[in-house]
Structure 1
Amino acid sequence: MSRRFPPTAVDWLIAAVMAVFGLAEELSERTSAFDHEQSPWWLIAVLAAAALVLVRRRAPFTVLTVYSLASAASFAYFGDLAAAWQFYTQLILLFTLVSEVPPRDPRTVGGLVVTGLFIGSMMLAVDQHFGPGDMAVAVVMASIAGGTGLAVWRHRQVALQAREHGELLAREAVAEERTRIARELHDVVAHSVSVMVMQAGAARLMLRPDQLVERETLTVVEEAGREAVEELRRMLGLLRTDSSEDGLAPQPSLARLEDLVEQVRAAGLEVELTVRGEARPLPAGLELSAYRIIQEALTNTLKHAGPARVTVTVSHLPRTLNLEVVDDGPRNGHVGPQGAGHGLIGMRERVALFHGRLATGPLPAGGYSVSASFPLAMRVSGERPAD
């Protein structure tokens, strides 16, 4: 099925060049031959050929076939009409067909057949001037046009496969990061639900014997909580891909940033940690995501910048939690999220989970910046902040 290509500036340019070349050649031949009485068939032929060149990519096989058969018919009828512009037009149309249609497609084979018919009819029309050498040159030029078109088609296929492979890897990376985030958040949610169950049980034990309705309600809460924890454990069993991960280790939080900074300093980075504002209790999942973003940013700096100076800033604002990790080192070819591995993908997923914002990229003066913002008002009001 042919794609519908609108003519581009290059198409218009090629068509215009072929029209000028054809008109110049025909005028030169007719002026030198003092032929002023013949009908202007050549003007119509040149303009029609230029029009076909202009729209050749819309239906390459149809255009090539129409031009080849029309040219062969004109050669057979007039006998002496073969010109250089006609042959070059044929080469352009052949190149377009082979570069747009798969090699094993019947249209490609048909295009080669009609090109052979074109060359044969051109040779017969000017047999007194068309020797074996000219025939060989014509075949070689047609082969070059077809071979170049085939190389272009293969290059496009390789580029397409590479793009599809990259998109597949990106989707797999996103799925992997989401699974990793789900595993981490499982322990946070399970812990919170377990606390709720224990609090409900403690409250039930404190009730008076006559508070039957309240006792029944808290019993239902306990049972539902235990079922929820059990279901979370089953879900985690599906998400676990590494049997060594038992989920018993405590999940990190912003309170453990100093430990993280010390580890990174030991690896060779000069890290300065600044905490602004008054820290207050935050949802455990949000703290975990904030910690992981800073961890991934520092890891990327170690990988792509080498020894460098890094500034980590955590700002506790009334309505947002802002994170910023800035380094002053070269990136060794690392230019941003599109060229990154799973680290920046994980950052985007964690920020999106809490409807936050993430900005990453090189700095004008050198170095790299990772900035994330988590809205806090929505945790109280339940409303999503305006974009």
Structure 2
Amino acid sequence: MTRARWAADVGVAALVVVLGLVEVWLPLESAMGEGSQAVSTLGIVAFAALLSQRRARPWMALAALLVWPVLGLAQGGRLQLLFFGQLVPVLVLVYSLARHAQGRLRWVAPLCGIAFVTTGDLFLPLLQEPSELIFHWAAVLLAFLTGHALRVSQERATREAVRAHEANASARERAVVAVAEERARIARELHDIVAHSVGMIVVQAGAAEQVVEEDPEFARRALSTIRTTGSSALAEMRRLVAMLRTPEAGVDFAPQPGIAALPDLVASAGESGLEVSLTTRGGGRRLPRGVELTAYRVVQEALTNVRLHSAATRADVLVDVGGDALTVQVTDGGPALPDDSPPGHGLVGMRERVALYGGTVTAEPSETGFTVRAVLPLEQV
């Protein structure tokens, strides 16, 4: 128990002593009977001393109810009857145990309090009026109900505070997860944009370097493609960065590419010298935007890998919109180029994208080259 609570309990006990002693020694009209003032003083102080343990040692505090019966037996029943020195401390004790005691003790307290006042009402001539019994019972029950109500209110407030704290912690955790997922998504977007565009630029630049003297016209077209690809990649990256900022007037929120943009992607790959055939089956069905973007990125990453890691001059792209799944397959004729560089993050990002929609990705050598196959489950939208 904290020092502040201990000081508060001692203060309550001291106040009980002061009120009781004033009632005995002033004396007040509420003091009745011919008992010894010294014995009353002893009873008041002893009861208050035990009452000071109302939160630290509640069972010891409950023993205070034995003080007056013991003194009464010792004095042969000759005791003063006190309102502030006897009844008020009993009410404070019942309230305190109902408010702070644990387990069964908080229910035992009112029963003991009622037993205490009932014993006095039955055996002390001055308290044998029915009105006295009713008043004492009502006062004890009121003290118990007040303590119990405050206890229930505090427990409810504590539960609400814990629930609010847990909800706040859960919200912070969800926010952290959302930020991490958004960062992963942005990383995938940047990788897809940069890897595709830079890969095409590298291929075009290499081809132009080899034929710049023999075929200036081809070199000019390659440089034009490099300029166009670089400008497109820069514009897409600017759009992505703009979406991360506070929306402002004039920011272009153009839709992300989908299956309808695949012919342009295939044509762009053809300009780099890679012949690509596109086959689409089951078209006309409306697909979720996220699934379409994922399919587009899978084809984009697979074609980028063909240009960077394969000597193939041709690739075949198949997009099959089935009843319950969208299948995307990119196959090249190989062979693979020797490459000692560490593996990139293209396939990892591809698998992460597809996994978000419950799909799978397989990437494995075929008879002559390499095949990337992604299957995305579909739901009717």
* TM-score normalised by structure 1 residue count: 0.48
Which one has the largest radius of gyration?
Answer: 2
* TM-score normalised by structure 2 residue count: 0.49
